[in-house]
Amino acid sequence: MAILDWIKEIPLSAVYKERLVDSEKQITALEKENTALKQENSELKSRLEKLEKDRRALEKKVVNKSTESHGIHLDEAKEKILTLLSQHSDLTEEQISGHLSMSIQLAKFHLEELKKKSMVSDFYAMESPVYWSIDQAGRSYLFSHGLLA
C-alpha cells in the first residue's frame, strides 16, 4: 500500500509545485508594485512639501497685503462702498450708486480705485451687468478702522 499512497501523492506534488511557482510570481509582481508605489509616494511627498511651502509664501503675501491696507486711509465714499459691499454681496454699479446716492460714473470711479487696491472684485455674467463684491483686503481695512460690525 505504501507504493499506492506514494503514487497518489505525485500528482499532488505537481499541483503544489505549480501553486508555489504561481505564488512566487505573485510575490514578485507585488514587490514590483510596492516599489513603484513607494517611489510615487516619495514623489508625492516632495510635491506636497513644495506646495505647502508655496502656500505659506502666498499666505504671507496676503497677510502683508492686508496689513498694508491698515496704513492707508480711504475717503468717505470708498469706505461707504466697502461697508455696503460687506453688508450686501454681489451688487451692480447701479445698485451701489442708488444705495449711496451718487452718480454711476462716480461709483465706477471709486470701485475701480478700490479694485486697484485689491479691496473689491468685479465679475461678469453672460448678458448681465458687472457685479462687485468685497475682498479680504477690503474687509481687513473695515475691521482695522472700526467700520465692520
pLDDT one digit per residue (tens) for the chain, 149 residues? 566 666 666 666 777 788 888 999 999 999 999 999 999 999 999 999 999 999 888 877 776 665 555 567 889 999 999 999 999 988 999 999 999 999 999 999 999 999 999 999 998 877 788 899 999 999 988 988 888 76
Write down the pLDDT at residue 135.
Answer: 92
The residue from 10, 41, 70 where one domain ends is: 70
Write down the pLDDT at residue 5.
Answer: 66
Domain that holds residue 94: 74-144
Tally of structural domains, the chain: 2
Grid coordinates representing 104 are: 454711476
Same domain? For 25 and 50 the reply is yes
Q: How many residues does the chain have?
A: 149
pTM of the predicted model, to two decimals? 0.54
Facing residues of 123 across strands? Answer: 131
The residue from 11, 39, 70 where one domain ends is: 70
Write down the pLDDT at residue 2.
Answer: 65
Write down the pLDDT at residue 73.
Answer: 83
Q: CA-to-CA distance for 110 and 76, rounded, in angstroms?
A: 10
Same domain? For 88 and 132 the reply is yes
In the 8-state DSSP scheme, what is residue 91? E
Facing residues of 132 across strands? Answer: 91, 122
The set of residues, in sequence order, having a beta carbon less than 8 Å from that of 66 and lying 6+ positions away, is: 136, 137, 140
Same domain? For 24 and 78 the reply is no
Same domain? For 66 and 90 the reply is no
Write down the pLDDT at residue 42.
Answer: 94
Same domain? For 15 and 2 the reply is yes
Write down the pLDDT at residue 14.
Answer: 75
CB 96 within 8 A of CB 81: yes
Write down the pLDDT at residue 91.
Answer: 94
In the 8-state DSSP scheme, what is residue 1? -
